[in-house]
Amino acid sequence: MSQPSKKISVALLFGGQSSEHEVSLMSAGSIIENLDKEKYELHMVGITKEGRWLLFTGDPAQLSGGAWEKGDVAPAALSPDPSVHGLVVLGPPARTIHIDCVFPALHGKNGEDGTLQGLLALSGIPYVGCNTEASAICMDKAVTHTLLSAANIEQAHYLWFYSDRFACAPETIKNRICARLNFPVFVKPANAGSSVGVSRVDGPQGLDEAIRKAAQEDVKIIVEEGVTGQEVECAVLGNRQDAQASLVGEIGASAAFYDYDDKYVNGTSQLYIPARIPQEAAEEIRETAVRAYRLLGCSGLARVDFFVTPEQKVVLNELNTLPGFTSISMYPKLWMAMGLTYGELLDKLIQLAFKQAGC
């Protein structure tokens, strides 16, 4: 009689010390629901907003709203020692758990920006998504813009500065913004996500307030000229050699721009799959998405976001290396439209993690 094959042990990381903690809980909820329990042995590891790592063994329904933190938890951490290859649980009882693959369902700072990926690289455990360098590059909108403009990829006109420079010479920087960019402009923290700290500014008088708000999220600030057009997104899946682009999806935002509430609270923005754009624009987006993905050294997955102007000009906005992953999020929905179920997408991402690690 053949032995039942051993399950793959997956650690799902969720929560995190980021302004997108709650979004991560939603993404993790969907992943837990859809991960094939016949194939995988799931270990849920939550990171609190304070940065505590807890192995959670309770009901996944407790994730939303944060009740899990007070539920069945034990302090645990991922060991940087590759001979452990897993989690060290402080107990009771103290023990180690072997992990075959880590799935970081974390967004934003300390999850999507390379910090966690550095620890994962040290641990020697294969993990889903981009490596440290690509994660850090894509998280920083100023670095992404600089690298992609060197490759002649169309983006909004922009400039960036450190907030301490603004504190010393606000008028110089504001004059530079007004001389180089047309209003409206978008003021953003260079490193953040989910529209946190992002403001649309219609004239010079609004700059101080918007810069102050962005500076609460990051020391680096980027200001971009507003692009008028449709907001569209393309999901890329694969490692450098075999990266593939999905169909293009469109966001019909209900607010002045696609802000945090629109994304996660009101649920009022509508997704159109495929996007309501001409075939040629969609082709250009798919090609540019893969080109940017390869250029920045991405692997596993990324969602590449664009604007399409009324003249059909394609303008790249940003790359998200750990995009929203709920079952109603754009990334999984785009692959569903390509014929992959959510569960199959998870299988594929885990396979890509093993392949990237040379397993």
Ligand X SMILES: Nc1ncnc2c1ncn2[C@@H]1O[C@H](COP(=O)(O)OP(=O)(O)O)[C@@H](O)[C@H]1O
Query: How many whole angstroms separate alpha carbon 293 and alpha carbon 199?
Result: 27
Helix (H, G, I), strand (E, B) or coil at 192: coil
Closest Cα to residue 156, out of 204, 220, 222?
A: 222
335 binds ligand X (CB under 6 A): no
Helix axes 115-123, 132-139, angle to 10 degrees: 180
Residues 184-223 as x/- pattern, contact with ligand X by CB under 6 A? --x-x---xxxx--x-------------------------
What is the smallest separation between the CB atom of 52 and ligand X, expressed in angstroms?
26
Q: Which is nearer to ligand X, 22 or 231 (CB)?
A: 231
257 binds ligand X (CB under 6 A): yes
Residue 52 in contact with residue 66, Cβ under 8 Å?
Answer: no
140 binds ligand X (CB under 6 A): no
306 binds ligand X (CB under 6 A): no
318 binds ligand X (CB under 6 A): yes
Neighbours of 169 (CB within 10 A): 12
Q: Figure out which of the listed residues 231, 233, 250, 284 binds ligand X, where binding follows CB under 6 A.
A: 231
Q: Which backbone phi and psi does 319 adopt, to 5 degrees? A: -115, 135
Query: How many whole angstroms separate alpha carbon 316 and alpha carbon 148?
Result: 9
332 binds ligand X (CB under 6 A): no
Residue 231 in contact with residue 250, Cβ under 8 Å?
Answer: yes
Which residues 6+ apart lie within 8 Å of 352 measured at CB?
128, 237, 238, 239, 299, 300, 301
Q: Which is nearer to ligand X, 100 or 112 (CB)?
A: 112
264 binds ligand X (CB under 6 A): no
111 binds ligand X (CB under 6 A): no
Residues 150-189 as x/- pattern, contact with ligand X by CB under 6 A? ------x-----------------------------x-x-
3-state helix, strand, coil in the chain (%, to 5): 35, 25, 40
325 binds ligand X (CB under 6 A): no
30 binds ligand X (CB under 6 A): no
Q: Figure out which of the listed residues 40, 53, 103, 258 binds ligand X, where binding follows CB under 6 A.
A: 258
Q: By the criterion CB under 6 A, which residues form the site for ligand X?
A: 156, 186, 188, 192-195, 198, 224, 226-227, 231, 253, 257-258, 305, 317-318
